[in-house]
Structure 1
Amino acid sequence: MLKNNTFSIDYTPKKIVSLVPSQTELLYDLGLEDSIVGVTKFCIHPLHAKKNKNIVGGTKSIHLEKIRALQPDIILCNKEENTKEIVEDCSSIAPTHVSDIYNLDDSKELIALYGVIFSKTKEASYLLRKINAQQRTFESFIEAKPILHVAYFIWRNPWMVAGKNTFIDHLLSINRFQNVYHHLDRYPKVTLTSLSNKVQPEFILLSSEPYPFKEEHRIEIQKQTNVSKVVFVDGEMFSWYGSRLEKAFAYFKQLRISLEESI
């Protein structure tokens, strides 16, 4: 959770505004659809979320008056997704919880906490059991696999990658991927030539979000880095925490199988 931040609430919130797509998905999976009154334009899971709920902006820019008009009992934010200003503004309207996710334990803690806050402990426990079962199965599969060196790109112009102290980097390590940019913090800007000046990755992974990489970008990177294995990956599986983890481990297994077949 957000370090040095105190959150307390002595009632079960009935009207929720979620400013974080992965947390919106978690709320739905905990059976809280009827309690959600506001979401962002990026809350695309489940598919009907944006159709049935009030859109209160994005993750970096919100319509504060729209949120105020909804009279929420609680607003859900994330330290990485939302700005400090947004959190402060939301706190003036309703109790605002700010998650801070770096690893699987943080994600599981959030699920359990939501179970307590929203009186959904049974549903949260069931979800956690399913995630833990999927994780154990994947760990048995991946434990004997060789470490593969990778670079995980999230943006173009400028080129940006996932570095250390990110949830993405943690999940890369779970997959026995060695992030060649692990020595850099958070989401550093890089040059493609930097890959030629260091140990070249065996694979460059192009995330499906937040930048919509296309085939032309894959070819561009291939030509400039001489790394022949440039692969598109599902960014939601690597960056969405919460209930998305239930699906992520099966995806990771198929990704590893696919990568090994391409070597």
Structure 2
Amino acid sequence: MMYTDQLNRTVELSKQPKRIISLVPSQTELLVDFGLESLIVGVTKFCVHPKHLRISKAVVGGTKQINIDKIKALQPDIILCNKEENTKEIISELEEITPLHISDINNLEDCFELINMYGEIFNIKRTTSTLISNIKIEREVFQGQNKSRPLKVAYFIWKKPWMVVASDNFINVMINEAGFLNVFASEKRYPEIDLNHSILQETDLIFLSSEPFPFKEEHVLDLKEKFPEKTVKIVDGELFSWYGSRLLKSYEYFKTLHV
């Protein structure tokens, strides 16, 4: 059986996969929500949804560092990776073991394409089609209800150094989906900035993501002291960055940010 992944690589499988290793947390959660948990044999230490997986399944490392011997011992039929999450070195090592399917997510259409690809590989096309339809319904409902003027936002993902979300990434897409304007959209990826950056004076809101840096209320207070006229709040980073089934929860959450 021949498939294509999102890097246009050919993925050749001799049979429908029954032993899956996922090296991407959002894709791991997606598999579980598809009812494929029993087929998962290995996950990363960052695969936190559902929480019990890191107890019931073998943890094979992180997204950037893996235990190659542990992966070999699990004898996977397929390993699910991601272009941004996993390094080229990891991919090269794993290609010697078993077929890899690599995702490349830049927008919602890429999310839907990946879901459809999994539908083909794991023979669950009805399930995947239903998920896509339900996400689109949530999106349409949100867009129909959200008539407020788009506010300008600076979305922080790291401290020491301070780093923000700019363009050319999935989080920026979701900032727009949430009905906001990213003040750093003219820059690329995840730039380091100084808190004296003039563009911060243009923002209506400052969002501190719950991940990858674990921002806390103390950071909110610090920034509120520096920017007393701005609204500063911690936001759920997973609902801005995790693609897959978590998208079902994103739009309902976005409503709360406009209150």
Q: Could you state the TM-score of these two structures normalised by the residue count of structure 2?
A: 0.94
Q: How many Å apart are 1:7 and its aligned residue? A: 3.1
Q: Map of 1:84-233 to 2, 5 A cutoff?
A: 84-142=88-146, 144-194=147-197, 196-197=198-199, 199-233=201-235
- The residue number in structure 2 matching 1:261 is none
One-letter code aligned to 1:255: L
1:157-197, CA deviations, whole angstroms, 9 ceiling, x for partnerless residues? 01111110111000111122110111111111111111x35
Q: Map of 1:16-35 to 2, 5 A cutoff?
A: 16-35=20-39
1:90-135, CA deviations, whole angstroms, 9 ceiling, x for partnerless residues? 1111111110101111111111111111111121112112111111
The reply to whether residue 47 of structure 1 matches residue 51 of structure 2 is yes
Q: Which moved more, 1:81-90 or 1:231-240?
A: 81-90
Q: Which moved more, 1:211-220 or 1:52-61?
A: 211-220
Q: Paired residues, what number?
A: 255
Identity score, percent: 50
SS in 2 for 1:183: coil
Contact 1:200 1:227 (8 Å CA) reproduced: no
Q: Which moved more, 1:13-22 or 1:224-233?
A: 224-233
Contact 2:20 2:39 (8 Å CA) reproduced: yes
One-letter code aligned to 1:185: K
Contact 2:155 2:209 (8 Å CA) reproduced: yes
Contact 2:154 2:200 (8 Å CA) reproduced: no
Q: How many Å apart are 1:198 and its aligned residue? A: 5.5
SS in 2 for 1:7: strand
SS in 2 for 1:93: coil
1: CA distance, partners of 2:101 / 2:91: 9
Contact 1:205 1:231 (8 Å CA) reproduced: yes
Q: How many Å apart are 1:224 and its aligned residue? A: 3.1
Contact 2:7 2:103 (8 Å CA) reproduced: no
1: CA distance, partners of 2:60 / 2:94: 12
- The residue number in structure 2 matching 1:38 is 42
Unaligned 5+ segments in structure 1 are 258-263
Contact 1:162 1:188 (8 Å CA) reproduced: yes
The reply to whether residue 61 of structure 1 matches residue 74 of structure 2 is no
> Higher helix share goes to which structure?
1
One-letter code aligned to 2:63: T
Q: Could you state the TM-score of these two structures normalised by the residue count of structure 1?
A: 0.93
SS in 1 for 2:258: helix
SS in 2 for 1:41: coil
C-alpha RMSD of the superposition:
1.5
2: CA distance, partners of 1:11 / 1:148: 50
- The residue number in structure 1 matching 2:247 is 245
Contact 1:204 1:227 (8 Å CA) reproduced: no
